Amino acid sequence: MGNIYGYIRVSSTDQNEDRQRVALQGKGIRPEDLFMDKQSGKDFDRPQYQRMVKKLKPGDLLYILSIDRLGRNYEEIQRQWRVLTKERGADICVIDMPLLDTRQGRDLMGTFIADLVLQILSFVAQNERENIRKRQAQGIAAAKARGVKFGRPPRPLPENFHSAYQRWKARKITCTAAAKECGMPISSFRYRAEIYEKSSIL
């Protein structure tokens, strides 16, 4: 009997991993054998996942709550499944999908069913990821149409900006000198000057 490990993934630091943690600890996994990444499932370049893979040995068992916690990229899920089961020689059990338990159904039919289920679920995981991205893009577009501003608000202009801008426009000083007076990079001065000019016209 090998070691038992668990893997947890949440998409961001704001998401709560408690549901996954409770489910995995219910399988008798020690806290030190739980690996968790707070990262997107688009690929497998995750520090704790890579650390876990290196620890896996033939006969070990890996629990995950659901296939989308492993990842959301169809081809990468398939490839990593082979890495874990073939190259590392470990078993995998997906708690939410009992058919995806490599300890069961090792005959030809069992393997065929497990492979089929894995393909379907990994496709669903990627499809959901793409739908999420599409909904986010639509939400951002709708917010912009309502006038919602994204990103950090611009820093306030220095008090001497108007004076420096007027002398620069009158060709009394160079753009470099005006930017230096305002304590700004030349590119920032030009950018803010363009906005300032448009707002003055309006």
Which of 11, 40, 66, 188 is the catalytic position? Answer: 11
**Calpha distance 67→97 (Å, rounded):** 8
The letter for the amino acid at 30 is R
Is 11 catalytic? The answer is: yes
Contact partners, residue 60, CB within 8 Å, separation at least 6: 2, 3, 4, 5, 88, 89, 90, 91
Dihedral sign of CA atoms 91, 97, 100, 103 in order: positive
Dihedral sign of CA atoms 64, 5, 40, 38 in order: positive
Residues carrying an active site annotation: 11
